[in-house]
Amino acid sequence: MRFMIIVKASADSEAGRMPSTALLEAMGKYNEELVNAGVMLAGEGLHPSSKGVRIRYHGKERTVIDGPFAETKELIAGFWLIQVKSREEAIEWLKRAPMEDGDEVEIRQVFEAEDFGADFTPELREQEERLRERISASPA
């Protein structure tokens, strides 16, 4: 099972204040544990919303909205993508994450092809597999 761990933004992350050396070291050690356990698929921190844009879709119209997004309370500061056997295992890994007081993460299961049932036709499955192979093979 794959899970996305969404790290909620804080006043510090939105202000562009970088984590302390101690927190960066602890996070590096934690990430190394995830990798060594074969759990971590990806993980990154994000720039503040002031450097982001949103695109709003309405019919064929596309509206680009520059950040910051002060009206949104649920901004994202980073993420992990992990693969574990269960939701409970994901929770146990995240209980060990070196987060600061008041930080919050959200754990969300990623849909797999089989979750879509009969609507996910053999042709769509084949396309999905081809795309995943291409992504894996392409240099970063």
Per-position pLDDT tens, the chain of length 140:
999 999 999 999 999 999 999 999 999 999 999 999 999 999 999 999 999 999 999 999 999 999 998 765 689 999 999 999 999 999 999 999 999 998 999 999 999 988 998 889 999 999 999 998 998 887 76
Residue from 97, 133, 121 nearest 6 by CA: 97
> What is the CATH T-level fold of the domain 2-109, as seen in this structure?
Alpha-Beta Plaits (3.30.70)
Predicted local confidence at residue 139, as pLDDT: 77
Predicted local confidence at residue 7, as pLDDT: 96
Instruction: For the chain, give every residue range classified as CATH 3.30.70.1060.
Output: 2-109
Query: What is the model's pTM?
Result: 0.87
76: CB partners within 8 A, 6+ apart: 6, 7, 8, 9, 46
Phi, psi torsion values for 74, nearest 5 degrees? -110, 55
Q: What is the spatial distance between Cα 34 and Cα 82, in angstroms, rounded to a whole number?
A: 8
